[in-house]
Amino acid sequence: MRPKRSAYVLCLCILFLVTEICSADVSVNVPLGNWSYDALDKLVSLGLVQSAIFSAKPFTRLEMARLTIEARSALEKQKDHLGASATRIAHELVQRLRKEFNAEIQEIEGTTKVSFYLKPFEDLYATYYHSTEDFAFEYDKGREFCDGSSFKAGFSAHAALFRHLAFYFNPEFRYSKGEFPSEDYKVSLLEGYGKLELWNIELEVGRDSLWWGPGRHGALILTDNVRPFDLIKISNPRPVVLPWIFKYLGLFKFQGFYTKLEGNRYIPKPELMGFRVDIKPFPFLELGASRTIILGGEGDNAPKGVSELSFTDWLKLLSGQNISGSLDTDQIAGVDATLHINNLDNFVRVLKTLDIWGQLYGEDEAASLPSRNGFVLGMRLGDIFLTGRTNLVIEHADNVINGYPNFWYNHHVYKSGYTYYKRIMGHEMGSEARDTYVSLEHYLRPDLIAWLSYDY
């Protein structure tokens, strides 16, 4: 990124910081994989949620509450148009979300203002597995299991203090014979962090997962296919409208983070940093851009780390030039978009909504732009047959670069690749791969879903 372009970005950030002070309180994140994301996505497919920025997760509980309020309001206006079956499904989903996020909904609506609360036990879970070989699930926060019997159990707890501090803990017990170095079981903190929020700027320190991209079955740059990161993250948890001419960008949201990767790799403990910006200029269009950088590390072969970079180094690093030596880094950058078309049933009496999304990201750069690109392209047919029950998702991912075998997720300096504890931080398909995913989802009841999926 050239100096002039850097000034534009800095100006944009300053404009965000001086936007009108909002009264949003702090809240913890909704863990990736939680049922509420699917429930909210279902309401999007019914055309009841317009302001969600789905490509940057996790959401906070307050953001989930805000979107639940939006869905409830839209349902009241559209229930006659939706039809009886779709209305019943949507109503029960909204009620289930309202029950889950009731405290946050009351905060937003002003019926309750609590300066301190503690929820010591929630989301209790226990799962038993048996397999004849070692296995791991994709997008399961890096968990791996050995053959034979395996077991996991855990719970979460969270608290808020003075409406600006929040804490979250998810301890987990796992048993899998032969999986851990010295014992057959392990008790660890799967996710846990503290948050400080002021004026819709949120600082998070601790262990958490990230998902950047609109894909339903993967994203090229960051997913929860790996263990949660021990990170420092800054973000605006609630989308805002920027002042002046930037208001035409629509809703604006950003995230930035810094972490260190593990020590058992070719260059030990390299640093990973990333930033993402999302805008929603129209209710039907969501645009995003992301960049991650692996740099630094320990040992004689390690390039410069964050603390060693001068201002000039930063300009070179972000310029889009291919650089080597002490400034050699492993970067992935690109853009993504989601197009949401609502009320198709006015024209085609078999379909309510259509979502089309794509990601285009590069592992190299040419002329300051990402090159040697991988892509994800997908679509969702929402509410097929207008019963409120059935959605179809089709998605294809590809990072094969002709003439450059195994180019994606590998690097000539950081030879352990774009991994964390030996698992890809992006799409689970890995390097030099193509992946096609088809999923048919049918709601038997609001709390009982039948899935039929194909992944190749």
Residue range 146-160, pLDDT digits in tens: 999 999 999 999 999
> Is the pLDDT assigned to residue 17 strictly greater than 80?
no
Please give the model's pTM, rounded to 2 decimal places: 0.91
Mean pLDDT of 382-407: 94
Task: Give the phi and the psi of residue 84 in degrees, each rounded to 5.
Answer: -65, -45
CB of 320 within 8 A of CB of 356? no
Q: What is the gyration radius of the CA atoms in the chain, in angstroms?
A: 22
- Give residue 247's pLDDT band: very low, low, confident or very high (50, 70, 90): very high
Tell me what the mean pLDDT of segment 353-361 comes to.
Answer: 97
Provide the 10 A C-beta neighbour count for residue 238.
18
Least confident of 2-16, 21-35, 68-82, 244-258: 2-16
Residues 6+ apart with CB under 8 A from 310: none
| Among 66, 49, 226, CA closest to 136 | 226
In the DSSP assignment, the letter for residue 136 is: -
Residue 322 is predicted with a pLDDT of 62
Length of the chain: 456
What residues have CB less than 8 Å from 245, skipping those under 6 apart? none
Which own/partner pairs from 298-302 qualify as long-range (CB within 8 Å, at least 24 positions apart)?
Answer: 298/263, 298/267, 298/268, 298/269, 299/267, 299/268, 301/267, 301/413, 302/267, 302/270
Q: What CA–CA distance (Å, rounded) separates 14 from 186?
A: 45
| Model pLDDT, residue 174 | 95
Q: What is the DSSP letter of 343?
A: -
Nearest CA-CA partner of 385 in 85, 49, 94 = 85
Given the structure tokens 């964390």, which residue do they identify? Answer: 420
Helix/strand/coil for 249 = helix
Query: Which is more confidently placed, 375 or 366?
Result: 375
The fraction of the chain above a pLDDT of 70, given in percent, is 92
Q: Which two tokens stand for residue 404?
A: 């450059």
The per-residue pLDDT for 3 is 40
CATH code for residues 3-455: 2.40.160.130
450: pLDDT strictly greater than 60: yes
Q: What pLDDT, on a 0 to 100 scale, did the predictor assign at position 63?
A: 96
Tell me what percent of the chain is helix, strand and coil, each rounded to the nearest 5: 20, 40, 35
What is the average pLDDT score of the chain? 90
Name the amino acid, one letter, at 385: F
Q: What number is the average pLDDT over the span 431-442?
A: 96
pLDDT higher than threshold 60 for residue 75: yes
Residue 321: which pLDDT band, with cuts at 50, 70 and 90?
A: low
Contact call for residues 301 and 267 (beta carbons, < 8 A) = yes
Structure tokens at 436: 């096609």
The helix/strand/coil state of 76 is helix
Does residue 13 register a pLDDT over 60?
Answer: no
Q: How many CA atoms lie within 13 A of 125 on its CB side?
A: 16
Q: Predicted confidence band at 4 (pLDDT cuts at 50, 70, 90)?
A: very low
